[in-house]
Amino acid sequence: MVWPVYINSIKTRKEGRKIAKEYCVKNPELNEIAKAASRLKFNPQKEDDKSYPSSWWEYSGRVIIETDLKKNDALKKISSLIKKSKANTKNKTK
């Protein structure tokens, strides 16, 4: 299961971030996570109507993935693809 907070660079570990900030993305969107997971062949299932338990009032959604990787390794790969995607988008708009 991947909650956006797991890879959000502006969140703290206490708030739910799972990997080091250097690997994270600023405010990742659920669609970006699902798209990256799909490109990695993690068979993602997006659930828009879910709230991260610590911030139950925010419907951030989550993505359920299937992988043999350790969770942190999967999160780093997803985050890396999102970073590349954002960098490519930024370069195209210049």
pLDDT digits (tens, 9 = 90+) for 7-65: 999 999 999 999 999 999 999 999 999 999 999 999 999 999 999 998 888 889 999 99
Tracing tokens 């660079």 back to the chain, one arrives at: 9
Q: Where are the domains of the chain?
A: 4-93
Q: What is the pLDDT of residue 90?
A: 67
Tokens standing for residue 68: 């043999």
Q: What is the pLDDT of residue 68?
A: 95
Q: 4-93: which CATH number, 3.40.50.880, 3.40.50.720, 3.30.56.30, 2.40.160.150? A: 3.30.56.30
Q: What is the pLDDT of residue 93?
A: 59
Taking the C-alpha atoms of residue 14 and residue 22, their distance in angstroms, rounded to an integer, is 17
Asked if the model's pLDDT at residue 85 lies above 90, the reply is no
The amino acid sitting at 83 is K
Record the pTM. 0.89
Tracing tokens 């405010």 back to the chain, one arrives at: 27
